[in-house]
Amino acid sequence: MKAIVTGMIASYPVGGVLWDYAQYALGLERLGYEVYYLEDTGWQTYDPRRGEYGEDGRYGVEFLGASLARLSPTLGRRWHFRCMDGQSFGVSRAELAKVVACADVFLNVSGGTLLREEYMPCRRKVLIDTDPGWNHFRNFPRWDAQPGWQGSNGYRAHDYFFTYAERLGEPDCVLPDMGLRWQPTRPPAVLDLWQAEPPGEQWSTVLTWKNFAETIRHQSVTYGTKEMEFGKVQELPRRVPARFELAVGGAAAPVEAWRGLGWSVVEAQGVSGTLEDYRHYVQRSRGEFSVAKNVYVATRSGWFSCRSVCYLAAGRPVVVQDTGFSDFIPTGEGLFAFADLDGAVRGIEAVEADYARHQQGARQMARAHFDSDRVLGDLLRGIGL
């Protein structure tokens, strides 16, 4: 059995992004698939050394090849990256074409890879919507308005559609379905790659501030990212006797104001430069505390974070803003959902009152709801495999 997994590891070469996509590829390997990683966004790549995007993808290519090789010797040989200028790296296009022609499944995770004609022969092309709201309000309508961008076939040319918006279709979830049949899915975690380290003294998270390139408006409502939600809980360090750290990237974050409220703040690049940096940061944290993007919360999408899944897999309790996920993922043992500051306080206090119990609960939560065998097994059954 052969599978192709796409992603944006070379396009945004940092540890957290690497884990988002690599766990799909590694999870399918654990299920017995011969997996190839493909990246072909048709766009610029980010260079974290300079903090800017450009057409030179050499740093991203080196990061991709070295990182995949550290995670899996086979994946380290089975990858293909196509730059904005058409130059490609990794396995040849001829070899990739042969794999595509006989692959059992083509997982376009985040929909970042263009569906060029050479990728169409695979009979099970699966779109996985990992960013509901940004996609439904911005990307999908743009594809519909300009089909055939860069000669590709657009998002509707996939054969199956999955989304992290598990509440899509519910009366109070305002995300449009675009006339497609969506199946729910969740971020997978390869559990044996995450091991608890002696817990640190600080709750933490890794976030990007104001990472939407433009304002989203839908039916006269404006949606945003975490800058629209964090102010609701920024007084938390003054309400509980616990320590909190934010690892922040992005533009114009009010760092000094946060420090004045009792938050420790560090640069995200320093804790997510490599796969090992990111994993170590998660595994040695006391737990995760975080808000969600406003668009996930305000649409009642049911989205759940791939980063939070890593914390749970490492046996680190998670207290995060509810997007509606608490409708179908149980909370109260290792995982707590909050809607406001008082709810956040209650969640932190509950964990600190019996930390060992909630460590175990976090790992059990990951095993029961996010284990890659379970998540990817359900997805494969949903497409007839």
Burial class (CB in 10 A: 0-12, 13-18, 19+), 25: buried
For residue 31, pLDDT over 90 is answered with yes
Residues 116 and 175 in one domain: yes
Residues 159 and 269 in one domain: no
> Which pTM was predicted?
0.97
Query: Mean pLDDT across the stretch 248-266?
Result: 93
Residues 236 and 108 in one domain: no
Residues 150 and 225 in one domain: no
CATH number at residue 171: 3.40.50
Can you give the residue range of the structural domain that contains 26? Answer: 2-188+371-382
- Predicted pLDDT at 323: 98
Residues 113 and 48 in one domain: yes
Band (52; pLDDT cuts 50, 70, 90): confident
For residue 202, pLDDT over 90 is answered with yes
Beta strands at 287-290 and 202-209: parallel, antiparallel or unpaired: parallel
For residue 178, pLDDT over 80 is answered with yes
Residues 111 and 17 in one domain: yes
For residue 252, pLDDT over 90 is answered with no
- Predicted pLDDT at 59: 95
Q: Which residues pair with 189 in a beta bridge?
A: 371
- Predicted pLDDT at 236: 98
Q: What percent of the chain has pLDDT over 90?
A: 91
Task: Give every CB contact of residue 381 below 8 A, 6+ residues apart in sequence.
Answer: none
Q: For CA atoms 133, 332, 290, 379, give the dihedral sign.
A: negative
- Predicted pLDDT at 213: 75
Residues 288 and 351 in one domain: yes
Q: How many domains does the chain have?
A: 2
